Chains A and B, each alone.
Chain A
Amino acid sequence: MKGLSVGIGLPKVKKHSWQGLMAVICVIFVFVVAVYAFFYLRHDPTLTNLDHRLQDMSLQHPLGTDQLGRDVLTRLLLGGQQTIGYSLLALIVALIIGIPFGLISGYKRGLVDRIFMRIADGFLAFPDTIVAIVLSGLLGPGIGNLVLAIVMVKWVNYARLVRSTVLSESQKDYVLIARINGLPSSEIMRKHLFPHIMGHVFVLASLDLGKIILLISAFSYIGLGAQPPVPEWGAMLNDSRPYFQSRPELMIYPGLAIMVVVLLTNMLGDYLRDHYDVKKEVQQ
């Protein structure tokens, strides 16, 4: 069935690559693990037990315990939920704002486009770090505000990407025909243009996911994201910093988790980009 390539509207170039397939499998695996964490919960991730602090690996605690006697594996799994979950949330909200914005801007053109794009330029003027720091300064630190900051910075990329694709697509005859056939604009955008842009958006989103995960971890590390005692990979890194000499593995586990997930999403993004050969499509 040609379903996928037809549905997304980009030509398939490479059929399959092992790397890509591995990336897809691994990303799915990570998501499954993150969801599984809900059911795992053999320990309360926030329950401190100073009698059991800094223990080695054991059957009871497969990855040992941290400086407050909390089970590291539980915290790592729940931390993954937090990090990946909030990254996805930020990404999805950015998509929900960015895609319609870009669609309308590119399709209506003229004055609407100019106003929309100046708004977008305004948002683009602030680097993500600045926005995150300013927001947590104004609204207080917390993962919600961090997500808000990321959304504010990221949606513009999608709006611009979608707009540029729609600008070139809406000059084509099939959109002219749809318009001359008297179809309403909303219908044209939804059914004729939207599937065209999804391939491009998909690729950018999968590449962005890694960056967002890094951002959330980084800001949690410096204390602007998840607040203790909520487990989060960046925050866990920060918590275990004083014990780096005696218990390096406490830092290695979350660090490794961040690295692996970010690399995986990058691999997935590269794979999708090659798969749908976005560059070639844009050049045409």
Chain B
Amino acid sequence: MILSIEQLSISSKEKKIIDNVSLSIREGEWYALVGQSGSGKSLLSQAIGRMLSPNLQVEGKILFKDEDLLSLSPKRMRSFRGQKLSYVFQDYQGSFTPFRTIAQHFEEYQKAHGIPDTKDQQINSMEALDSVGLDEALYNRYPFQLSGGQLQRVSIAMALLLSPDLLIADEITTALDSVSGHRILELLAKRQKETGCTILFITHDWRHVRRYGTRLAVMKEGKIVESGGKHRILDHPQHEYTKQLIQAAPRIGHDLPSGLKEVENV
């Protein structure tokens, strides 16, 4: 287990937003967290990096390689961030500081993690850009000069730059058109094969879960209602809510929900 969340609750002053959630993610898998908007997926993912705003109360344990992230010192936590776990967000435009170039983003990121030499930084960044199929000419551009798909590629390149153990992808294709989204996911799957990193994939799109996921959990109103292997849940959902969600998803052809072929004339 690379990450296990044990009985995690997040509450604001008024109410509990995440209620007693437990899940565990195995090394190297593509774990999908599914649920509709407002179910607390993003909040849960931000809790892993201790990125929540200070007025939220967090209880429970988040074990990352047997270390409880919630009890780490801020300094140690900072060394985890970016190096062992990294994020890619939905809003690619908003993920970059508008008045800093891609190069500056890459360089300060590496500087913060003990790569002070500019030459090394550049070589690493170029390699990273290359690995996501981007031209090196983009390196000195400002974020607004890039297209959405390019920016999301840069986000992925940056997130994987220091080979983190866990990548949290928070609805990374939602703001992209379906072709770019597809390319981004193919790229992510390819990069996962190459680097062997674990991916926590947050989505509300069943097609992506079916295609890439290995295991998944379904969230509703701050609780995990069902979790397990992809085929088990997609083809034999136990919970009423999961059934509804799967039925609501658009689907072409007569395949089973998980994408397996139905055996006819048996």
Q: Which residues of A contact B (CB under 8 A)?
A: 6-7, 9, 109-111, 172-174, 176-184, 187, 191-192, 195
For A7, A109, A173, A180, the residue with the greatest tally of chain B CB atoms inside 10 Å of its CB is A180
- In the complex, what distance in Å separates the CA atom of A86 from the CA atom of B64? 57
Say how far A206's CB is from chain B's closest CB, in angstroms: 21
- In the complex, what distance in Å separates the CA atom of A111 from the CA atom of B100? 31
Residue pair A109, B97 in contact (C-beta under 8 Å): no
Residue pair A180, B82 in contact (C-beta under 8 Å): yes
- In the complex, what distance in Å separates the CA atom of A180 from the CA atom of B94? 14
B95 within 8 A of A: yes
Name the CB-closest residue of B to A8. Answer: B99
B241 contact set on A, CB distance < 8 A:
none
Name the CB-closest residue of B to A174. Answer: B97
- In the complex, what distance in Å separates the CA atom of A111 from the CA atom of B91? 30
| Stretch of B106-114, B117-125, B187-195, B228-236 lying at the A interface | B106-114
For chain B residues 141-196, which have a beta carbon within 8 Å of chain A? 142, 155, 158
SS class, residues of chain A in contact with chain B: helix
Residue pair A177, B95 in contact (C-beta under 8 Å): yes
What 8 new A-B contacts, CB under 8 Å, besides A6-B142, A173-B95, A180-B49?
Answer: A173-B94, A174-B98, A176-B89, A181-B86, A182-B79, A182-B83, A183-B109, A195-B99
A180-B87, A181-B86, A181-B158 as given contacts; A174 in contact with B95, CB under 8 Å: yes
For chain B residues 51-77, which have a beta carbon within 8 Å of chain A? 51, 53-55
The residue from B49, B85, B97 contacting A178, defined by CB atoms under 8 A apart:
B97
- In the complex, what distance in Å separates the CA atom of A193 from the CA atom of B228? 42
- In the complex, what distance in Å separates the CA atom of A4 from the CA atom of B133? 32
A195 contact set on B, CB distance < 8 A:
99
Residue pair A182, B95 in contact (C-beta under 8 Å): no
- In the complex, what distance in Å separates the CA atom of A201 from the CA atom of B87? 32
B96 within 8 A of A: yes
B46 contact set on A, CB distance < 8 A:
176
The residue from A179, A183, A191 contacting B51, defined by CB atoms under 8 A apart:
A179
The residue from B82, B100, B155 contacting A192, defined by CB atoms under 8 A apart:
B100
B78 within 8 A of A: yes
Residue pair A9, B98 in contact (C-beta under 8 Å): yes
Say how far A65's CB is from chain B's closest CB, in angstroms: 54
B81 within 8 A of A: yes
A110-B54, A174-B94 as given contacts; A191 in contact with B100, CB under 8 Å: yes
Name the CB-closest residue of B to A171. Answer: B53
In order of increasing CB-CB distance, the 8 nearest A-B pairs are A110-B54, A182-B82, A173-B94, A181-B82, A182-B81, A174-B97, A192-B97, A173-B89
For B99, B109, B158, the residue with the greatest tally of chain A CB atoms inside 10 Å of its CB is B99
A180 contact set on B, CB distance < 8 A:
49, 51, 81-82, 85-87
Interface residues on chain B, size class: 20 to 34
Name the CB-closest residue of B to A193. Answer: B97
Residue pair B82, A109 in contact (C-beta under 8 Å): no
Residue pair A182, B94 in contact (C-beta under 8 Å): no
Residue pair A179, B99 in contact (C-beta under 8 Å): no
The residue from A6, A178, A179, A183 contacting B98, defined by CB atoms under 8 A apart:
A6
Residue pair A181, B109 in contact (C-beta under 8 Å): yes
- In the complex, what distance in Å separates the CA atom of A73 from the CA atom of B262? 98
Name the CB-closest residue of B to A113. Answer: B54
Residue pair B96, A6 in contact (C-beta under 8 Å): no
Residue pair B89, A181 in contact (C-beta under 8 Å): no
- In the complex, what distance in Å separates the CA atom of A184 from the CA atom of B113? 10
Residue pair A6, B99 in contact (C-beta under 8 Å): yes
Name the CB-closest residue of A to B83. Answer: A182
- In the complex, what distance in Å separates the CA atom of A110 from the CA atom of B87? 24
Residue pair B91, A173 in contact (C-beta under 8 Å): yes
- In the complex, what distance in Å separates the CA atom of A221 from the CA atom of B98? 48
Residue pair B87, A176 in contact (C-beta under 8 Å): yes
B91 contact set on A, CB distance < 8 A:
173
A176-B87, A181-B82, A183-B108 as given contacts; A109 in contact with B53, CB under 8 Å: yes
Residue pair A179, B97 in contact (C-beta under 8 Å): no
Residue pair A177, B99 in contact (C-beta under 8 Å): no
10 contacts between A and B (CB under 8 A): A110-B54, A110-B55, A172-B94, A173-B89, A173-B94, A177-B96, A177-B155, A182-B80, A184-B78, A191-B97
The residue from B78, B99, B108, B109 contacting A9, defined by CB atoms under 8 A apart:
B99
- In the complex, what distance in Å separates the CA atom of A110 from the CA atom of B163? 33
Name the CB-closest residue of B to A112. Answer: B54
A176-B89, A187-B108 as given contacts; A109 in contact with B99, CB under 8 Å: no
- In the complex, what distance in Å separates the CA atom of A176 from the CA atom of B82? 11
Residue pair A182, B78 in contact (C-beta under 8 Å): yes
Residue pair A182, B53 in contact (C-beta under 8 Å): no
Residue pair A177, B98 in contact (C-beta under 8 Å): no
B95 contact set on A, CB distance < 8 A:
173-174, 177
Say how far B124's CB is from chain A's closest CB, in angstroms: 14
Residue pair B99, A181 in contact (C-beta under 8 Å): no
B82 contact set on A, CB distance < 8 A:
180-183
A182 contact set on B, CB distance < 8 A:
78-83, 109, 112-113
